Amino acid sequence: RKEVEQDPGPFNVPEGATVAFNCTYSNSASQSFFWYRQDCRKEPKLLMSVYSSGNEDGRFTAQLNRASQYISLLIRDSKLSDSATYLCVVNTGNQFYFGTGTSLTVIP
Amino acid sequence: GAVVSQHPSWVICKSGTSVKIECRSLDFQATTMFWYRQFPKQSLMLMATSNEGSKATYEQGVEKDKFLINHASLTLSTLTVTSAHPEDSSFYICSASGGQLSYEQYFGPGTRLTVT
């Protein structure tokens, strides 16, 4: 079983829509969780960390469910500039495990 | 966020030559650096993890004699692709974590390698 499983999509949504991505992880001892954004031919950039209490940054909300071992990212009021690949990352010990990434395209 | 640089950003080399890629953490001490490879439209693939002052730990299927990794200081790691072949053409990305940032990792801008 993979350490991190993520639906690769693609997700094609109209501008203004709300879209949610989920990611599951297999190791209950995992300590830290992140969402990264990667644009085409660029390096991943940290979008936000995910905390147990859930956290929000503008239109983006991240949540962690330790009992079910999944993390989620919700994007409200999608913008064209949100089009990218979103990667979930799980830190276990000194190892970082990446999901395969979910491709999002926001359509005008 | 922390800054990680990578050099060169783009390199074209002939088959059989070796290429060295540098990864530097500019504003923090990176106790751990990671090297990834990414083929077009595919996800990042971890190649190896290196801790400062010790030998790198390679992922299964990654040849350590072909991809030489050196992490001699807390701010610099290098990846040398030896005897490069066209199938080594890829996007190589390093990331670093350490100190107060030990639970996050910051990526370099990547190096696009093309082997002709």
Q: What average pLDDT does range A51-77 have in this prediction?
A: 93
| Parallel/antiparallel/unpaired status of strands B10-13 and B4-7 | unpaired
Give the pLDDT confidence score for residue B101 in this predicted structure.
59
For B34-90, write each residue's pLDDT tens digit: 999 998 878 888 999 998 888 899 999 999 999 999 988 889 999 999 999 999 999
Please give, rounded to a whole number of angstroms, the shortest distance from the CA of B7 to a CA of chain A. 14
Give the pLDDT confidence score for residue A96 in this predicted structure.
83
Please give, rounded to a whole number of angstroms, the shortest distance from the CA of B84 to a CA of chain A. 21
- Which run of H or E residues covers position B68? strand B67-73
Please give, rounded to a whole number of angstroms, the shortest distance from the CA of A5 to a CA of chain B. 12
Give the pLDDT confidence score for residue B95 in this predicted structure.
92
Residues of B in contact with A94 (CB under 8 A): 32, 49, 51
For A10-43, write each residue's pLDDT tens digit: 999 999 999 999 999 999 999 899 999 999 888 8
Amino acid found at B50: S
Give the pLDDT confidence score for residue B76 in this predicted structure.
93
Report the percent of chain B where pLDDT is more than 90.
66
Give the pLDDT confidence score for residue B83 in this predicted structure.
96
| Parallel/antiparallel/unpaired status of strands A102-107 and A11-14 | parallel
Is residue A15 a contact partner of residue A107, using CB atoms and an 8 Å limit?
yes
Tally of CB atoms within 10 A around B64: 13
Residues of B in contact with A9 (CB under 8 A): none
Give the pLDDT confidence score for residue B114 in this predicted structure.
95
Band of pLDDT at residue B28, cut at 50, 70 and 90:
confident
Per-residue exposure over A41-54, b if at least 16 CB sit within 10 Å of its own CB, e if not: eebbebbbbbeeee
Residue B27 has pLDDT above 80, yes or no: yes
Give the pLDDT confidence score for residue A75 in this predicted structure.
97
Taking every pair of C-alpha atoms in chain A, what is the biggest distance, in angstroms? Answer: 42
